[in-house]
């Protein structure tokens, strides 16, 4: 259950509130309930933003909302430990959207199981692979093996249309900083990493992440409204050589089950 505080009006006149307790029964040690603090604030005049303490609780909240969405909900955006509810302001007031969100019953709601993807990656085409290997104090083959040996979750999509922020990297690859100066041109399909995250540049853009490989698959087609990845999807990279890269160049990225 969620214990609902009274809405508060801030100095700017906007309503905001905190979910002081999100109780998830049966999930704590020994089957006991555990309590997580959450906060709800307005995001402009057409959205509400929920800050959760971690990615799992945010995912559960999003799943609970998607299971019974209100008529005024226009879009729901899950990003790491936050959930944004975009609403039709002609149909609901911000304060009422906040009150509805406060009352959502999460309970035992499970995280949605995302689609599964296998993304071919040619690590031979990573211009920063050797520099990343030196930073991590391993050799380039070990960088590729560690990167391809981990299943990632898409936690957010942004920066550029369809750019997936995925985590989390294995410990051996964590802590690589951004480039001192961003590249002015990063080719589509370039696979990068920094901090605890990995990502794929779907379109030609400037970028500051070290690049360790490149996928031949197309993640985005703006003209046809195609965006392959969404938050919650699961991704594994599969190492390929330059000849396979050339053979598959331009294919669309599709889930493993094809749906």
Residue 193 has pLDDT above 50, yes or no: yes
Tokens of 23: 């109780």
Could you report the per-residue pLDDT of 1-27, keeping only the tens digit for each?
A: 333 333 333 323 344 444 434 444 344
Under 8 Å CB-to-CB from 183, ≥6 apart: which residues?
206, 207, 208
Residue 134 has pLDDT above 70, yes or no: yes
Band the pLDDT of 37: cuts 50, 70, 90. confident
User: Roughly what angle, to the nearest 10 degrees, separates helices 140-148 and 129-136?
Assistant: 90
Parts of the chain belonging to CATH 2.40.100.10: 116-248
Q: How far apart are CA 211 and CA 8, in angstroms?
A: 46
Of 56-65, 164-173, 189-198, the range with the lowest mean pLDDT is 56-65
Band the pLDDT of 54: cuts 50, 70, 90. very high
Q: What is the pLDDT of residue 99?
A: 93
Residue 29 has pLDDT above 60, yes or no: no
Does domain 2-102 fall into CATH 3.30.1360.40?
A: yes
Residue 52 has pLDDT above 90, yes or no: yes
Q: Are strands 211-214 and 164-167 parallel, antiparallel or unpaired?
A: unpaired
Could you report the per-residue pLDDT of 154-181, keeping only the tens digit for each?
A: 999 998 999 999 999 999 999 999 999 9
SS3 sequence, the chain? Answer: CEECCCCEECCCCCEEEEEEEEEECCCCHHHCCEEEEEEEEECCCCEEEEECCCHHHHHHHHHHHHHCCCCCEEEEEEECCEEEEEECCCCCCHHHHHHHHHCCCCCCCCCCCCCEEEEEEEHHHCCCHHHHHHHHCCCHHHHHHHHHCCCEEEEEECCCCCCEEEECCCHHHCCECCCCCCEEEECCCEEEEEECEEEEECCCEEECCCEEEECCCECEECCCCEECCCCCCEEEEEECCHHHHHHHCCCECCCCCCC
* Mean pLDDT calculated for residue range 120-143: 98
pTM as predicted:
0.81
Does domain 116-248 fall into CATH 2.40.100.10?
A: yes
Q: What is the pLDDT of residue 36?
A: 57
Could you report the per-residue pLDDT of 221-231, keeping only the tens digit for each?
A: 999 999 999 99
Q: What are phi and psi of 129, to 5 degrees?
A: -60, -45
Parts of the chain belonging to CATH 3.30.1360.40: 2-102
Q: How far apart are CA 81 and CA 22, in angstroms?
A: 14
CA-to-CA dists, residue 34 to 37, 39, 52, 55, 83, angstroms: 10, 17, 14, 16, 20
Q: What is the mean pLDDT of the chain?
A: 87
Q: How far apart are CA 236 and CA 16, in angstroms?
A: 40
């Amino acid at each position: 259950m969620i214990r609902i505080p009274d809405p508060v009006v801030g100095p700017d006149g906007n309503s905001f509130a905190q979910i002081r307790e999100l109780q998830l029964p049966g999930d704590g040690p020994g089957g006991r309930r555990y309590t997580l603090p959450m906060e709800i604030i307005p995001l402009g005049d057409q959205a509400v933003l929920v800050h959760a303490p971690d990615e799992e609780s945010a995912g559960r909240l999003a799943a609970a909302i998607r299971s019974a969405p209100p008529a005024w909900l226009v879009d729901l955006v899950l990003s790491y430990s936050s959930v944004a509810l975009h609403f039709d302001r002609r149909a609901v007031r911000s304060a009422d959207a906040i009150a509805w969100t406060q009352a959502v019953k999460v309970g035992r709601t499970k995280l949605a199981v995302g689609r599964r993807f296998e993304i071919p990656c040619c690590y031979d085409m990573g211009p920063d692979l050797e520099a990343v290997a030196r930073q991590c104090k391993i050799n380039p083959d070990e960088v590729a093996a560690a990167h391809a040996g981990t299943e990632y979750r898409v936690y957010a999509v942004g920066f550029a249309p369809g750019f997936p922020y995925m985590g989390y990297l294995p410990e051996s690859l964590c802590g690589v900083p951004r480039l001192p100066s961003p590249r002015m041109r990063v080719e589509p399909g370039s696979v990068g990493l920094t901090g605890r995250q990995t990502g794929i540049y779907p379109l030609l853009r400037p970028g500051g992440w070290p690049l360790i490989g490149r996928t031949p698959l197309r993640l985005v087609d703006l003209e046809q409204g195609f965006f392959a990845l969404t938050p919650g999807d699961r991704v594994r990279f599969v190492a390929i050589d330059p000849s396979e890269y050339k053979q598959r160049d331009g294919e669309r990225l599709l889930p493993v089950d094809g749906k």
